[in-house]
Amino acid sequence: GQNIDQPTEMTATEGAIVQINCTYQTSGFNGLFWYQQHAGEAPTFLSYNVLDGLEEKGRFSSFLSRSKGYSYLLLKELQMKDSASYLCAVREAGAGSYQLTFGKGTKLSVIP
Amino acid sequence: EAGVTQFPSHSVIEKGQTVTLRCDPISGHDNLYWYRRVMGKEIKFLLHFVKESKQDESGMPNNRFLAERTGGTYSTLKVQPAELEDSGVYFCASSQEHTYEQYFGPGTRLTVT
């Protein structure tokens, strides 16, 4: 089984940088995903890490350390529209199993 | 390109009734997944189709839930009979290859009263 932990809520100021952490414990690992979800909408894919290191995509970056079971999502130059829930999800390694296991999500509030 | 669509967006039914949820994946995506989020909990996996075959249904809670994907295109998830604990948001996702990212639909909010 898997256990994924991320902070419940965070608040940050417009224009600032925020880091959302995610720790996981898994019997197998086949990638970590970050999704953004605005209230009442579909989760939207942000990033994917399967190897250790930093993946950068515009204002968003995601980091992974497999040995530590740790990832973070870094959001730069925060905008009001970045207020949303950010979901950390791990894909488990295993024959025929490609399901994602999600954390409860981090609700980010961006304030002026 | 159209995204994943789900119907209905909301459904309110009484305990003991039957409800059928529909998911249309992105065209060309062989992999289709169902997930559920109950109040206050995380999104949880229900099952995974590859084309019309069930690849993994380890997350299905019990035999009141039946998922089908005849023809390998759209999928339905039927709950019969519905219980109060089935209330939640049911998400569908699809991916081109199982190793690729999954694209989610907006979900169906099911309320069982």
| Cβ–Cβ gap B33/A99 under 8 Å | yes
pLDDT over 90 for what percent of chain B? 88
A30 band by pLDDT with thresholds 50, 70 and 90: confident
DSSP chain A: -EEEE--SEEEEETTS-EEEEEEEEESS---EEEEEE-TTS--EEEEEE-SSEEEEETTEEEEEETTTTEEEEEE-S--GGG-EEEEEEEEPPSTT---EEE---EEEEEE-
Mean pLDDT of A60-88: 97
What is the per-residue pLDDT for B90? 98
Looking at the DSSP bridge assignments, the partners of residue A72 are A21, A63
Q: Is the Cα torsion angle A25, A37, A49, B3 positive or negative in sign? A: positive
**How many other CB atoms are there within 10 angstroms of residue B90's CB atom?**
23
A72 pLDDT more than 80:
yes
List of residues 6+ apart from B41 with CB closer than 8 A: A104
* Strand locations in B1-113 (E): 5-7, 10-13, 19-24, 31-37, 43-50, 53-56, 65-68, 75-79, 88-95, 103-104, 108-112
Mean pLDDT of A77-90: 97
A31 pLDDT more than 60:
yes
| Cβ–Cβ gap A87/B48 under 8 Å | no
A2 pLDDT more than 70:
no
The rounded distance, in Å, linking the Cα atoms of A26 and A32 is 11
Q: A70, A61, A106, A33: which is closest to B95 by C-alpha?
A: A33
What is the per-residue pLDDT for A26? 82
A5-16 tens-digit pLDDT = 999 999 999 999
Cis amide leading into B8 (omega within 30): yes
What is the per-residue pLDDT for A28? 80
Q: Which of B41, B59, B105 sits opposite A42 (nearest CB)?
A: B105
CA of A46: which chain B residue's CA is closest? B101
A1 pLDDT more than 60:
no
* Portion 70-109 of A in contact with B at CB < 8 A: 87, 89, 96-105
| Cβ–Cβ gap B104/A48 under 8 Å | no
Residue B93 and residue B101 in contact, taking contact as beta carbons nearer than 8 Å: no
Mean pLDDT of A39-59: 94
Query: With a cut of 50, which residues of chain B have pLDDT below it?
Result: none
The rounded distance, in Å, linking the Cα atoms of B20 and A78 is 40
